[in-house]
Structure 1
Amino acid sequence: MAKQTGTMTAAVTMGHGGPDQIEVRTDWPRPVAEPGHVVVRVAAAAINNTDIWSREGAYGTAGDPDAVAGWRGVPLDFPRIQGIDVVGYIDSVGQDVPERWLDRRVLVDSAVRYEDDRPAEIVGSEVDGGFAEFHACAEAQLHDMTGSPLSDAQLSCVPTAYGTALGMINRAGCAAGERVLVTGASGGVGMAAVQLLADRGCRVVARTSDGKQDVVKAAGADEVSLRGADSLAAVELVDVVVDVVGGEEFGAAVDRLRDGGRLVTAGAIAGPVVPLDLRRLYLHHRTLIGSTMHTPADFAELARIAVQGGIAPVVAESFSLTDIARAQARFLEKDFVGKLVLVP
């Protein structure tokens, strides 16, 4: 199909910093379908912590935790359209891409390029993302969502939150029948982990805040531990901890592992520098696992689960693309359950 030109509405981040760095433009150049690529008409794009941290340059470096840097340890290139999660419909295809893709509903793999099965470049960071009316990506990133019972808004919640959760679950080797503690269980990745673990047949202990217990139980949690009310030390020992929180409870979470247990972490929303008594780690043969996003196999598995309806992402609120500033401010309040979604 011939390439299309023109302009579109896009939320464009002009540099590292606060929300004032985002400009909503109605005259931004619309992407064209290069060879091997397609242009997706964006139907929905979820908001993630990585969108905020990438804009702020809050990832730091090994030598300086306060350095302004993206997730790869260097500043991003600007201007940049952020938005790591993209679901939509194929608007045009480039050379060498079959036209059968046209108008197909697709989920876009948020990893643009892998190295040794690990994401090396991601959507909304190294390349433009989904906070726009149109998004260009490689055909290899597409996963056909035909037949999925999930809405567009629900599907937009899947790539980062569920991809990260499934990557953690697979790296930790969570198996049916195992007892797994999930921290931050009402957040995007935490809720995804609860659903995916329940779908796998694990017994889930959800650590969340008061007022959110009914939602995490509905997501598949067998037990709930309330942060700020229940001591983490009161949780019976588990086989695995799936942690996206970090902060002051990290050492206590390690101590809830049985001998030989595993803790996998992929986040630090309560703080990246944590207390840890190493004796509690090595004397009990426990294993710490770091995990970033997903592998190609993880994402393909996730796409199959989404088509089969094995997950049910919770959309807390939807906002128009032009209301991105209010949506990101709402995201930082952290008093909701599920995901916030932008709809172009």
Structure 2
Amino acid sequence: METIPNNMSAVQLLGHGGVEKLVLNHQVPVPTISASDVLIKVAAAGVNNTDLNTRKAWYSKSYVESAELKNTEAENIAPESEPSATNSSDASWSGEAIQFPRIQGADVCGIVVAVGEQVDKNLLGRRVLIEPCVQEANDEVLASPWYFGSECDGGFAQYTKVAAKHAYPVSSELSDVELASFPCSYSTAENMLTRVNATERDLVLISGASGGVGSAAIQLAKARGAKVIAITSKSKFAEITAIGADVVLDRNDDLAKKLGQNSVDVVIDLVAGEQWPQFLQVLKPFGRYATSGAIAGPIVELDVRTLYLKDLSLFGCTILAKDVFANLIARIEAKQIKPLIANRFALSEIAQAQQEFELKKHIGKLVIDLSLKF
């Protein structure tokens, strides 16, 4: 049995703002588990969009986004200045205020080192992945789901806790860093494809294809037997083709001209922005559209006539549907999908990791590796 210390090292988010709000603290109390919890020694934790969005208060409806920022995001380059929110009372994934300090990190791979009294002791010593959409905490079923590392502390720390139902054992030859690339991006992509019921009969168009969710969606759509059209920058065409995309388009292409109107069955959109009306143009009648992101801008123009005259179905995807995470674990163990690791960082390098993430020049995941000296 491993000796569990009283204190641990963790990166704490002290408030909304820039990366200066991320502080490494070596005297954070190790989480105390309740009856239905497990304590996990973190091996690796991936970086994702939600970390940045939460830090910046992007989820607040009062978020102020400059024209400069919108343009730089659309061009996948870093903005020179941080945006601000005039009100942080709704600046979390759940639409409520974040409680600071907060330990972020939703993509967690680690080892179970302690279990609550109501938890199966066979979990001790098992390597697990944490389901990031949390529906139970503090021995209670939540009225509204939390996001791991947002409404509760996450994995940018030596130890973290979660309800046992959200800790999934995984049997795989993959490394901790590779496994940590899966939970958030791949479950998000799997959830979107599940919601639209993507099958081998579908032609699926995926925006933001070089990001964590986009590249995951390519693999997961191909695992279903679907044909994939991916949208990315020209510099990434070869890499996206290698992942499995059948056709790759430039993000500045006119989709209706390239594909033709009424040409695709499913759109998996992570971008939104000015291009958004084109997604509905290229959808076939009874087509299905799903979104879980808006990196090019959350405000879009909708012609409602297109929506109802084509009998389209639009899905907003945040809360994981039943069995999505279990299905993801099964796909990992069956080697139907592969990890895409762009870079790894020490815990003390969290600011650099988030800054590199924001540049959007990578394909796949950036991961905090707890085996690296910090």
CA contact (8 A) 1:150 1:312 kept: no
Q: 2:194 aligns with which of 155, 162, 170?
A: 170
Q: 1:105 aligns with which of 127, 150, 174?
A: 127
1:287-323 per-position Cα deviation (integer Å, ceiling 9, x unaligned): 2211114124111111111111111120100000110
> What does residue 309 of structure 2 align with?
283
Aligned pairs for 1:114-129 (under 5 A) are 120-129=145-154
CA contact (8 A) 2:93 2:147 kept: no
> What does residue 71 of structure 2 align with?
none
> What does residue 208 of structure 2 align with?
184
TM-score (norm 2): 0.86
* Pair 1:235 & 2:294 matched: no
Comparing 172-181 and 96-105, the one that deviates more = 96-105
Comparing 33-42 and 74-83, the one that deviates more = 33-42
> What does residue 137 of structure 1 align with?
162
One-letter amino acid of the structure 2 residue matched with residue 282 of structure 1: Y
TM-score (norm 1): 0.93
Query: Secondary structure of 2:306's partner?
Result: helix
Comparing 325-334 and 52-61, the one that deviates more = 52-61
Comparing 284-293 and 241-250, the one that deviates more = 284-293
Comparing 62-71 and 163-172, the one that deviates more = 62-71
Comparing 178-187 and 232-241, the one that deviates more = 232-241
User: What is the distance in 1 between the residues matched to 2:247 and 2:40?
Assistant: 41
- Alpha-carbon RMSD: 2.2
* Pair 1:92 & 2:118 matched: no
1:119: how far off?
6.4
Q: Which runs of 5+ in 1 are unaligned?
A: none
CA contact (8 A) 1:112 1:119 kept: no
User: What is the distance in 2 between the residues matched to 1:206 and 1:287?
Assistant: 21
Comparing 329-338 and 15-24, the one that deviates more = 15-24
* Pair 1:82 & 2:107 matched: no
CA contact (8 A) 1:119 1:294 kept: no
> What does residue 79 of structure 2 align with?
none
> What does residue 297 of structure 1 align with?
323
One-letter amino acid of the structure 2 residue matched with residue 259 of structure 1: P
1:140: how far off?
1.0
Query: Secondary structure of 1:211's partner?
Result: helix
1:2: how far off?
9.7
User: What is the distance in 2 between the residues matched to 1:117 and 1:337?
Assistant: 35
User: What is the distance in 2 between the residues matched to 1:205 and 1:263?
Assistant: 14
CA contact (8 A) 1:183 1:242 kept: yes
CA contact (8 A) 1:209 1:227 kept: yes
* Pair 1:42 & 2:42 matched: yes
1:117: how far off?
11
Q: Which runs of 5+ in 2 are unaligned?
A: 66-84
Comparing 4-13 and 248-257, the one that deviates more = 4-13
1:16: how far off?
1.6
* Pair 1:15 & 2:15 matched: yes
CA contact (8 A) 2:229 2:247 kept: yes
1:5: how far off?
4.1
User: What is the distance in 2 between the residues matched to 1:207 and 1:142?
Assistant: 34
User: What is the distance in 2 between the residues matched to 1:33 and 1:200?
Assistant: 39
* Pair 1:195 & 2:219 matched: yes
One-letter amino acid of the structure 2 residue matched with residue 138 of structure 1: A
> What does residue 69 of structure 2 align with?
none
User: What is the distance in 2 between the residues matched to 1:109 and 1:263?
Assistant: 24
User: What is the distance in 1 between the residues matched to 2:143 and 2:189?
Assistant: 15
Change (3 A) 1:213 1:308: same
- Count matched residues: 342
Change (3 A) 1:24 1:63: closer
1:38-81 per-position Cα deviation (integer Å, ceiling 9, x unaligned): 11111110001001111111112399995431122222011110
Q: Which runs of 4+ in 1 moved over 4 A?
A: 62-67, 114-119
User: What is the distance in 2 between the residues matched to 1:207 and 1:117?
Assistant: 37
One-letter amino acid of the structure 1 residue matched with residue 366 of structure 2: L
* Pair 1:205 & 2:229 matched: yes
Comparing 152-161 and 80-89, the one that deviates more = 152-161
CA contact (8 A) 2:135 2:142 kept: no
